[in-house]
A and B are shown apart, each in its own frame.
Chain A
Amino acid sequence: MSSSETALLEIKHLVKHFPLTKGILFRKQVGAVQAVDDLSLSVAEGETVGLVGETGCGKSTVARMLVRLLDPTSGEIRFDGDDLASAKGGDLNTLRREIQIVFQDPYSALNPRKTVGAIIADPLVIHGIGKEGDDRKRMVQELMEQVGLSPEHYNRLPHEFSGGQRQRIGIARALALRPKLIVLDEPVSALDVSIQAQVVNLLSDLQKERDLSYLFVAHDLSVVRHVSDRIAVMYLGKIVEVAPAEEIFEKPIHPYTLALYSAVPKPDPSERTEKPIRLEGDLPSPTDPPSGCRFRTRCPWATDICTKAEPPLVDYGGGHLAACHHPRNVSRVDLESAQIAPASPITASDQMPAVE
């Protein structure tokens, strides 16, 4: 699904550095927070790609660049062939209709003084869709019905709704322009489990009905595993592994993915004997990331080469890519057919990994 012919969204070598400045009167740049550092990823039509990682890994920065709330430092974001990263003015507006975003906190993302009807109608008004008055009202009420809100609540204010219902309002607003892709930035992490399941199901129903593509950004691996077709794991601004959802946790190749999976407490007391891999220490600073492999400072398998060379993103076949010098769950046979993926960072070395 990652071939460029069918990809709806194609991110190529995307970089976002936030400059750090210093100086008495004139500020000069003394460094940068390397929030996203050479990231390539694609989303096919109708596909859900999960983007996971822990706080500070850069996943939300990616989400915000996709809707151009942030401008990329460099790299390409191709949407249906058009470059979103450099689009301006009218082109950007057209592209913005195609990609919508839903945020984590369903309350702070909604204007408390506007009625729900007006909030959902906003994108229609901005893009001049539908006639003012009854026409738009009908459109909004249809949307409300689709996301499971009762259309009679058109004139209510956000605070009169529960958290789950507010998230439905956010989803309805995102749907208003009939986008092809929705970026979901932690859409269910603020919700209780029973409500979370309602929203997750709503999202997958809408996807089927409207043939939507999702980029699902979240830290909750279980939810991502449930909703995604493919999953990309990020660590310190880089993708360390991408694979089909059913494969990535069954057969993790990167030690970080392995550690993540093992750290998730399983709701099954019979698995208590399996102690999780405990990663040592904290996430290094993104202003001064470790040389070579960024995960090496916390990796139990790190060796000399991990310090010296950045591991390339290697394609192990079947859409399974990983960037590690010492891959797990990989046999010699697997390695023979493996090759460096085009998505591999430009700065990465071309040395293929070895299997002990």
Chain B
Amino acid sequence: MSLLEVDNLRVAFDTEDGRVQAVDGISFSVEKGKTLGIVGESGCGKSVASLTMLGLTRSMNSRIEGRVEFEGRDLLSIPETDLEAIRGNEVSMIFQDPLSSLHPFFKIGHQLSEAVLTHRDVSKGEAAKLAVEMLDLVGIPNAEARSHSYPHEFSGGMRQRVMIAMALINDPKLLIADEPTTALDVTTQAQILGLIDDLQEELGMSMILITHDLGVVAQNADEIAVMYAGQIVERSSVEELFFSPQHPYTWGLLGSIPRIDRSSEEPLIPVTGQPPSLIHPPGGCRFHPRCPYVQEACSTEQPSLETTGGGGTHHSACLLSETERKALWASLEKSPDPASAIAAAELKVARR
């Protein structure tokens, strides 16, 4: 059985401009000890989805539907106090900006031991000792002395280590890491991702890694879900996603990132246009106004996430047939230009 099972999660916010459907019916699961990467651009709903799993978007203005089952319990329907007992204990989170995510006025030792005292019946002294041990484990030098420092006295990378220590101090079964390295420099990012990887192995926990960086998921995730405009458009194992992607948006993403490991002669092929409004999303497939391979049906019919390919683990939400997609990707793999792919696949594209 999966550790976490999300079924048809929908989150909407009522704003002055209208109702924003930030997450629109997403489903996925996370296996024990595995890492699920969720990728997408800003506003695609990846952060809202993760916050909602822990009840952190509950408010007067939000509408939440669906099921989030963690070890058999539906986190969306249990009372707030039960959720509090799970947060930071069985399921922890780390966030993008470690400076703004740590309280500026409390010493970090205090912030860590507070997490222990909230969930465990130990003395303050024991909690403080645990905090120091944990800081040591995540590689903070002089952990004992540093536990008396304030967040601003640490560097960006060290602060993220502190956040990780705080998230892991109660031995969670699931860690949700929301853009954990986006605010960090690349060598620091390598340190932090390496640390998370080591700790995950050591503690045997599962992880949801949310990022916009395809490189980060390629190196760290087992499974990947690609989100666009509140929906999952493709979900598969990491190898499948990079070696035989099955959705035009994924192709677009792969074509628009510059590659450090390849010659710069290859031009970037950006996805044209802008992400849609989530108040008035386009009808049919959300991606159709930007899709180079759009068909007549795409503007009216909403594709659902369906199994594609052989293994049964690859899912894609696209109205193109599997053969069409195979032919298109075969051409795109050689040259990322959509026009030549359309020609090669002899695809008829609907006029805009």
Contacts and interface: CB of A to CB of B under 8 A. Distances in A.
Classify A-B as touching or not with yes or no (CB < 8 A): yes
Interface of A: 54-55, 162, 164, 192-198, 200-201, 219, 221-223, 225-228, 245-246, 249, 259-272, 275-279, 282-283
Contacts of B340: none
Nearest to B255: A197
5 contacts: A194-B252, A197-B256, A197-B257, A263-B189, A278-B194
Contact of A225 (B189, B194, B260, B275): B260
Contact of B41 (A193, A221, A275): A193
A222 B190 contact: no
Nearest to A192: B41
Interface of B: 41-42, 155-158, 185-191, 193-194, 212-216, 218-220, 238-239, 242-243, 252-261, 263-264, 267-272, 274-275
Contact of B158 (A222, A227, A278, A282): A282
Nearest to B264: A226
Given A222-B257, A266-B218, A267-B218, A200 B186 contact: no
Given A164-B274, A198-B270, A268-B218, A249 B260 contact: yes
Contact of B194 (A264, A267, A276): A276
B99 to A, nearest CB: 12
A197 B270 contact: yes
A222 B157 CA distance: 21
A223 B258 CA distance: 6
Contacts of B191: 278-279
A266 B155 contact: no
Given A194-B41, A222-B259, A275-B194, A282 B186 contact: no
A246 B264 CA distance: 8
B126 to A, nearest CB: 30
A279 B187 contact: yes
B21 to A, nearest CB: 19
- SS of A interface (majority): helix
B155 A269 contact: no
Contacts of B267: 201
Q: Which 10 A-B pairs give the minimum distances between C-beta atoms? A: A265-B215, A197-B270, A226-B258, A197-B256, A263-B190, A54-B185, A192-B41, A194-B271, A197-B268, A267-B214
B190 A267 contact: no
Contacts of B253: 193-194
Nearest to B141: A281
Of B156, B261, B271, chain A has the most CB atoms within 10 Å of the CB of B261
B256 A265 contact: no
Given A219-B185, A226-B268, A275-B194, A265 B219 contact: yes
Given A193-B257, A266-B259, 6 more contacts: A55-B185, A197-B258, A221-B186, A265-B193, A267-B242, A269-B242
Contacts of B256: 193-194, 196-197
B185 A267 contact: no
A201 B218 contact: no
A201 B268 contact: yes
Given A55-B156, A222-B259, A225-B260, A267 B186 contact: no
Contacts of A277: 190
Of B155, B188, B268, chain A has the most CB atoms within 10 Å of the CB of B268
Given A268-B242, A275-B194, A278-B194, A194 B270 contact: yes
Contacts of B263: 246
Contacts of B238: 269
A123 to B, nearest CB: 27
B42 A192 contact: yes
